[in-house]
């Protein structure tokens, strides 16, 4: 990657309150997700080689998996009606991420691959949080408010 190309790669992403989905435990997980994406992006923009990028990708991937599983549990527990569509988005992300991670171990960080990784990690994440996760966050908040309002028998 030539130094002039680095402008295409954002060096940092940060969770800010506008990313909030209104549920503290999900927000906390998203903050951790952003932190791991940020570590990876920083290494990518510093032109680190695949040997340094691979463990960061693994570190991020394992947390993505953990976070998706926790969201799934919350959706199942609360009887979320849009569970299927939401999970489909998660699976789509994991499949695309898996392909790019595999390409990274094969070819190393080319500019084209770096761009696709950024589009997925930053673009997809922002979009998914702002729409799909926010919709679930609203549902979960209402579900919990309703449960705490119920008089005990």
Region of 8-16, 67-75, 112-120, 141-149 interacting with Fe ion (CB under 5 A): 67-75
**Residue (113 or 120) nearer to Fe ion, CB:** 120
DSSP letter string, 96-130: HHHHHHHHHHHH---HHHHHHHHIIIIIIHHHHII
- Selected binder of Fe ion within 9, 23, 133, 139 (CB under 5 A): 133
**Residue (38 or 71) nearer to Fe ion, CB:** 71
Tell me the C-alpha to C-alpha distance, in Å, between residue 153 and each of 78, 147, 150: 20, 13, 9
Nearest approach in angstroms of CB 151 to Fe ion is: 33
Nearest approach in angstroms of CB 111 to Fe ion is: 29
Region of 6-14, 52-60, 96-104, 129-137 interacting with Fe ion (CB under 5 A): 129-137
Binding-site size for Fe ion (CB under 5 A) equals: 2
Write the CB contacts of 138 (distance below 8 Å, at least 6 apart in sequence).
21, 22
Q: Per CB under 5 A, does 27 bind Fe ion? A: no
Angle, CA 34 vertex, CA 29 and CA 37 arms, to 5°: 125
Q: Per CB under 5 A, does 38 bind Fe ion? A: no
Write the CB contacts of 59 (distance below 8 Å, at least 6 apart in sequence).
36, 39, 40
The residues of the shown chain that bind Fe ion, judged by CB under 5 A, are: 71, 133
């Amino acid at each position: 990657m030539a130094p002039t190309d680095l402008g295409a790669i954002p060096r940092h992403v940060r969770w800010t309150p506008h990313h909030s989905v209104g549920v503290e435990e999900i927000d906390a997980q998203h903050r951790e997700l952003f932190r791991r994406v940020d570590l990876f992006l920083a290494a990518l923009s510093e032109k680190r080689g695949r040997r340094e990028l691979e463990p960061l990708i693994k570190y991020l991937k394992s947390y993505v998996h953990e976070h998706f599983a926790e969201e799934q549990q919350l959706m199942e527990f609360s009887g979320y009606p849009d569970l299927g569509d939401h999970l489909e988005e998660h699976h789509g992300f994991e499949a695309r991420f898996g392909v790019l991670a595999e390409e990274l171990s094969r070819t190393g960080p080319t500019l084209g691959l770096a761009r696709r990784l950024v589009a997925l990690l930053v673009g997809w994440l922002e979009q998914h949080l702002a729409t799909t996760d926010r919709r679930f966050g609203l549902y979960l908040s209402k579900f919990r408010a309703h449960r705490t309002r119920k008089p005990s028998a």
